[in-house]
Amino acid sequence: MEVKALACELPSERNLPFSRFSHAEIAREAVRSGIVASISGATVWRWLSADAIKPWTYRSWIFPRDPNFSGKAALILDLYQGLWNGKRLAPNDYVISADEKTSIQARNRNDLSTAPGPNRCRRVEFEYERAGSLAYLAAWDVRRAKVFGLCEKTTGIEAFHRLVDLVMEQEPYRSARRVFWVTDNGSSHRGQKSIERLSQWYPNAIQVHTPVHASWLNQIEIYFSVVQRKVLTPNDFPDLVTLERRLLEFQSHYEKIAKPFKWKFTRDDLNRILSDISYDNVQTERLAA
């Protein structure tokens, strides 16, 4: 137990000049600290493996910052389950997830790529010349798997307005009962002013903000991750015209094969995780005291 507790400490807490423990380092520190007379790294690995403790790994994490995180997130999760204020959405209600992918560079490689071959992966020239950048604004119909998008020189209220027009001037959204727009808190669509502005543009449009630092609740980010993998990696475009054409062509291609994302995370899942976080914080405070 003492060795496992040691493994869960930060090396800096023991005045060691590195950030993560390895098996061998844990073994050396256990001997130096007098926990054991001798021990091997393999034994440490076996003990830690029994409890799936991996002190050399880590993941980035942001604790909830929004004071109403649970309430805001629950609204969006309910929309994904076809609910609004506890009532089932009507057939002529729609849910749109929208955002911007900013500063997409066109990187013109200084030499040609080489094709893959037996025991050889594709090779892409490392050096490149910057050929400018653009923003890709997109909207995803959560229940119909329809995607709308356009490219702009920069983001802003007017660019977002053009994206909204692209969607709302088409059927079935133009005559829909309600169209819910899920967005983050970016400057193009932030706060109560944005909610009021959207309803002025289109009275049947209702904006729903994600909590601060919770873009993972916005389904358009899933589509953007597909774009990143399938279109922008590796980045090799001679100019912005080519980059824009490729983005919009992929958008049309993807829509033909797309299906609604199988979103399984619910309000109950959220409450369970927030409860676990709260418990962990209480335990940490008690230990610190």
| pLDDT tens digits, one per residue of 109-166 | 999 999 999 999 999 999 999 999 999 999 999 999 999 999 999 999 999 999 999 9
Eight-class DSSP state of 114: B
Q: What is the pLDDT of residues 191-223, one digit of tens each?
A: 999 999 999 999 999 999 999 989 899 999 999
| Cβ density class 235-274: b for 16+ within 10 Å, e for less | bbbeebeebbeebeebbeebbeebeeeeeeeebeebeeee
Sign, CA dihedral 88-86-215-52, equals: negative
User: pTM above 0.95?
Assistant: no
Residue 121 has what pLDDT?
A: 94
| Cβ density class 29-55: b for 16+ within 10 Å, e for less | bbeeeeeeeebeeeebbebbeeeeeeb
- How many Cβ atoms are within 10 Å of 225's Cβ, its own excluded? 10
pLDDT-derived band at 287 (thresholds 50, 70, 90) equals very low
Residues forming beta bridges with residue 84, ordered by sequence position = 87
Q: In the structure encoding, which two tokens stand for residue 95, read together?
A: 């849910």
> Worst-scoring range by mean pLDDT, 36-40, 66-70, 275-279?
275-279
- Cis, peptide link before residue 211, omega less than 30° from 0: no
Phi first, then psi: give them for residue 116, nearest 5 degrees.
Answer: -70, 160
Question: Hey, is 3 helix, strand or coil?
Answer: helix
